[in-house]
């Protein structure tokens, strides 16, 4: 069977067998397939979809195209959290040390920012010296010693996914539910987890803005986890506006440290606690979500979470003084400019894609994987949807490296902010909780 046969079959609405997916991922990892044929297959999948068995087979092939972070010898639960990506989403930086401080191992493998979304690795690398490129052996030893490592996808983990993702990015085929689900789960299942919590974003700033699509993505990933005895819980969370105040890289680290010190914006704290409670229950460190929340609040209040973060930063070569004085350690913007309301009214919208694209335009994000990120630029957005404002009130601060950069930031905020007469409807931060038991609403 040639790749051309598979393309034609998928184009015509047929299915690809498990053996064919296995051969495809093997050849993909080996680099022996022509990019133009893989691209054509991706476009056929984008329009024709994949059934459940095909999705499992693709994921399995990508998972087994590389090595695993083998942590099965640990006696504690091993739980990771994955976010499908958003703007201002710094939750991983807070959640990983917090949950590890509560006794669950967190082998957290994160990604880089791409498109309008930010990436945990870029944020962490704004801490001078912080190394996210640990080998699997070093990461495994660190999880054993500290309960947590914050790493990127090395070339060893799911290399077939790495190639396929790059091609999807170049061919406009990222936003296909089975491809996203197989891609994410091939990496997560390589961490030998006993549980996984998904933060599936929904709304304008999400890769899949529609609620139905987010729900389907969550259910697909839960079904994939179930096939590998990895229980998965997904929270569908709002990405109709940026999360927290800081949007960028260094400023998000600063906000994360404030949250680890028991402060931070209320939405960042609340989402961290909700996701963390699910992780503690899945990891066997708490019997109920209520008990788990209490333990997490204690670890934020007594400094244990911050100390865990300090230990991780130190172990990964970063400057631990960032925990005491982030402003002194993190690169600061050359310019800070206020962005003010042009009229009286109420903030109706802070459109997250415009904010995310603005960060990229200022040099703080990536258009291609080779772009270099300036950690110092971004926004602090103080005025959230629903806030009443008077003309001249400060809505946000633009953090820029020069006047031209600040002008690009201002243009982005002009596109992002809508101030009008009528308050927008209040949106729930978490709309659904999804697990193998079903879908719950009203959170």
Token pair of 212, please?
Answer: 């139905």
* Alpha helices (H) along 72-114: 91-101
Whether 183 is a known active-site residue: answer yes
- Give the three-state DSSP class for 255: helix
- Give the three-state DSSP class for 47: helix
Length of the chain: 443
Q: What's the gap between Cα 187 and its chain centre?
A: 13
Nearer to ligand URA, 86 or 88 (CB): 86
Among 183, 202, 249, 431, binds ligand URA (CB under 6 A): 183
Whether 82 is a known active-site residue: answer yes
| In the complex, least distance from residue 146 CB atom to ligand URA, rounded to whole angstroms | 25
Nearer to ligand URA, 132 or 251 (CB): 132
Whether 188 is a known active-site residue: answer no
Query: How far is 233 from 433, CA to CA, in rounded Å?
Result: 7
Nearest to 318 by CA among 49, 97, 170: 97
Nearest to 123 by CA among 209, 244, 22: 244
Nearer to ligand URA, 30 or 166 (CB): 166
Nearer to ligand URA, 111 or 265 (CB): 111
Give the DSSP H or E segment for 315.
helix 304-315
Whether 319 is a known active-site residue: answer no
Site string for ligand URA, 110-149 (x = CB under 6 A): -x--------------------------------------
Among 38, 96, 184, 405, binds ligand URA (CB under 6 A): 184
| In the complex, least distance from residue 84 CB atom to ligand URA, rounded to whole angstroms | 6
| In the complex, least distance from residue 111 CB atom to ligand URA, rounded to whole angstroms | 6
Nearest to 349 by CA among 300, 389, 289, 318: 389
Query: How far is 398 from 382, CA to CA, in rounded Å?
Result: 11
Asked if 165 is part of the footprint of ligand URA (rule: CB under 6 A), the reply reads: yes
346: number of Cβ within 10 Å: 17
| In the complex, least distance from residue 124 CB atom to ligand URA, rounded to whole angstroms | 17
| In the complex, least distance from residue 172 CB atom to ligand URA, rounded to whole angstroms | 13
Count of residues interacting with ligand URA (CB under 6 A)? 8
302: number of Cβ within 10 Å: 12
* Residue ranges binding ligand URA (CB under 6 A): 85, 111, 165, 174, 179-180, 183-184
Residues tagged active-site = 82, 161, 168, 183, 187
């Amino acid at each position: 069977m040639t790749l051309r046969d598979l393309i034609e079959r998928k184009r015509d609405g047929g299915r690809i067998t498990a053996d064919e997916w296995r051969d495809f991922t093997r050849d993909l990892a080996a680099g022996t397939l022509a990019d133009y044929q893989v691209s054509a297959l991706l476009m056929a999948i984008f329009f024709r979809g994949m059934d459940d068995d095909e999705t499992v087979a693709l994921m399995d092939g990508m998972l087994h195209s590389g090595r695993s972070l083998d942590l099965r010898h640990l006696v504690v639960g091993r739980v990771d959290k994955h976010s499908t990506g958003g703007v201002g989403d710094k939750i991983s930086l807070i959640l990983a040390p917090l949950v590890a401080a509560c006794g669950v191992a967190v082998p957290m493998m994160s990604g880089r920012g791409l498109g309008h979304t930010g990436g945990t690795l870029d944020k962490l690398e704004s801490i001078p010296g912080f190394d996210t490129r640990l080998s699997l052996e070093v990461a495994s030893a660190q999880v054993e010693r500290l309960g947590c490592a914050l790493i990127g996808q090395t070339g060893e983990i799911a290399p077939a996914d790495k190639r396929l993702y790059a091609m999807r990015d170049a061919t406009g085929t990222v936003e296909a539910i089975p491809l996203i689900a197989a891609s994410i789960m091939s990496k997560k299942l390589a961490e030998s987890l006993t549980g996984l919590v998904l933060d599936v974003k929904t709304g304008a700033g999400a890769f899949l803005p529609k609620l139905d699509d987010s729900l389907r993505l969550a259910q697909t990933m839960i079904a994939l986890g179930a096939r590998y005895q990895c229980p998965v819980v997904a929270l569908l969370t709002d990405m109709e506006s940026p999360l927290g105040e800081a949007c960028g890289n260094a400023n998000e680290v600063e906000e994360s440290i404030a949250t680890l010190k028991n402060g931070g914006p209320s939405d960042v704290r609340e989402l961290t606690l909700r996701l963390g409670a699910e992780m503690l229950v899945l990891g066997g460190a708490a019997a109920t979500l209520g008990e788990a929340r209490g333990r997490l609040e204690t670890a934020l209040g007594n400094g244990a979470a911050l100390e865990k973060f300090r230990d991780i930063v130190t172990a990964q070569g970063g400057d631990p003084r960032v925990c005491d004085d982030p402003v002194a350690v993190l690169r600061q913007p050359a310019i800070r400019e206020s962005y003010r309301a042009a009229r009286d009214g109420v903030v109706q919208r802070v459109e997250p894609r415009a904010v995310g694209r603005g960060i990229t335009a200022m040099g703080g994000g990536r258009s291609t994987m080779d772009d270099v990120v300036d950690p110092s630029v971004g926004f602090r957005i103080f005025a959230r949807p629903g806030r009443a404002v008077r003309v001249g009130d400060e809505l946000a601060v633009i953090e820029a490296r020069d006047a031209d950069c600040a002008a690009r930031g201002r243009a982005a905020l002009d596109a992002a902010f809508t101030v009008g007469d009528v308050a927008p409807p209040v949106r729930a931060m978490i709309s659904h909780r999804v697990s193998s038991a079903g879908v719950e609403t009203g959170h």
